[in-house]
Amino acid sequence: MVKIGNYIISERSPVYIIAEIGVNHNGSVELAKKLIDRAVAAGANAVKFQTFDPDEMVSEDADLAPYQKRCSNKKQKEMLKHLALTPGQLEILKKDCDHKGITWLSTPFDIKSARFLNKLKVPAFKVGSGDLTNIPLLLEIAKFGKPILLSTGMAELTDIETALNYLNHPSDLVLLHCTSAYPAPFADLHLRVIDTLKAAFPHLVGYSDHSSGVEIPLAATALGYKIIEKHFTLDKRMEGPDHRASLEPDEFCQMVTGIRHVEKALGTSHKLIRPSEAELKKRVRKGIYACKDLDKGIMLTEEDLAYLRPLSEIEASQFQCVVGRRLNRSIKKGDSLRWSDLN
């Protein structure tokens, strides 16, 4: 069980849905507020940003990641400087989330940012896949004693085990399965990794999705992932590194609705007649009828019986209890048989 703000995440709880705004605000507080509004309207439980100081995060000569080159020809640090939010801006956005009743989260990419987020009372820490092996950052985050969402893209089990050891194996930690590609090819998602993670570690498992469309989060829900994180934008055509691999508001709303429908559909493992089936059962199940005029006193044979809709007092499954019995009264062709008709 993991508690983020007032929300308890467990194997029995509804999926916790995070709208990953990330850097899709393009450095604008106003755009960020619009994204928060649309995430609230779509039914997200939380929005998540990214907190970083480019000088603490990347070297001067760091090249862009392949997916980032589609929207920029700058060096990575130069691109990030235009996407970084100041501490004051992040504080404004947290207050905006508090006012609108949605949980505010952010991923720190350096120790200074982690300390700032802790002072800002972020309710949980997300560790991005790129920092799974950043042991100094993990040690710093472990000091705060807050819930941790640990993303596991580009990792093997040994990498995850090492990270958990440095984090002191906290009980309030969720492992996020992830494929770090933007967008991630369907063939590389391997959602069944949840079974491996659950067998290897005593933690809840969520899914940080970078695939296109809304189908994969629904499949992840069906498989038992308890957190779904998905990139969120107002418009995929906007300039920026993550917009193309994000969902627009209508798509995100469709995803949330789909997840909630899947949760209801999963139901329980008990095979019972459901209330919505009861009336139809009467109409389409078959009862036992007379296939011809039958005289009082005859001994019934299978040739005397018809199995027809709607369901009658004696079901077709009970025919063996009818054959060989004598009739107490005459019955016309097409009439249903009742137990009181049999001696």
Beta-carbon contacts of 43 under 8 Å, excluding residues fewer than 6 positions away, are: 17, 253, 256, 257, 260
- Domain boundary assignment for the chain: 2-266, 275-341
Tell me whether strands 16-22 and 287-290 are parallel, antiparallel or unpaired: unpaired
Q: For the domain with range 275-341, which CATH number is right: 3.90.1210.10, 3.40.50.2000, 3.40.1380.10, 3.40.50.150? A: 3.90.1210.10
Residue ranges of the chain with per-residue pLDDT less than 70: 65-73
- The structural architecture, per CATH, of the domain 2-266 is Alpha-Beta Barrel (3.20)
The predicted pLDDT at position 209 comes to: 98
Residue 71: its pLDDT value, please? 62
pLDDT of residue 38: 98
pLDDT at 73: 61
Phi, psi of 72 (to 5 degrees): -155, 150
Which phi and psi angles does 97 have, rounded to 5°?
-65, -45
- Hey, what amino acid is at 334? G
Residue 81 is predicted with a pLDDT of 85
Q: Tokens 């209890």 correspond to what residue?
A: 321
Task: Show Cβ contacts of residue 242 under 8 Å, excluding neighbours closer than 6 positions.
Answer: 22, 23, 24, 182, 231, 233
Nearest-CA neighbor of 100 among 46, 164, 165, 167?
A: 46
Q: Which amino acid is at 146?
A: K
Contact 251, 266 (CB under 8 A): no
State yes or no: cis peptide before 249, omega within 30 of 0: no
The CA-based dihedral angle spanning residues 274, 277, 283, 289, taken in that order and rounded to the nearest 10 degrees: -30
Residue 152: closest CA among 174, 183, 182, 123: 174
- Same topology, domains 2-266 and 275-341? Answer is no
Nearest residue to 159 via CA among 187, 129, 198? 129
d(CA 239, CA 251): 19
pLDDT at 280: 97
Nearest to 105 by CA among 12, 177, 17: 17
Q: How far apart are CA 61 and CA 218, in angstroms?
A: 40
Q: Where are the beta strands (DSSP E) in the chain?
A: 2-4, 7-9, 16-22, 46-51, 103-108, 125-127, 148-151, 173-178, 204-209, 227-231, 287-290, 305-308
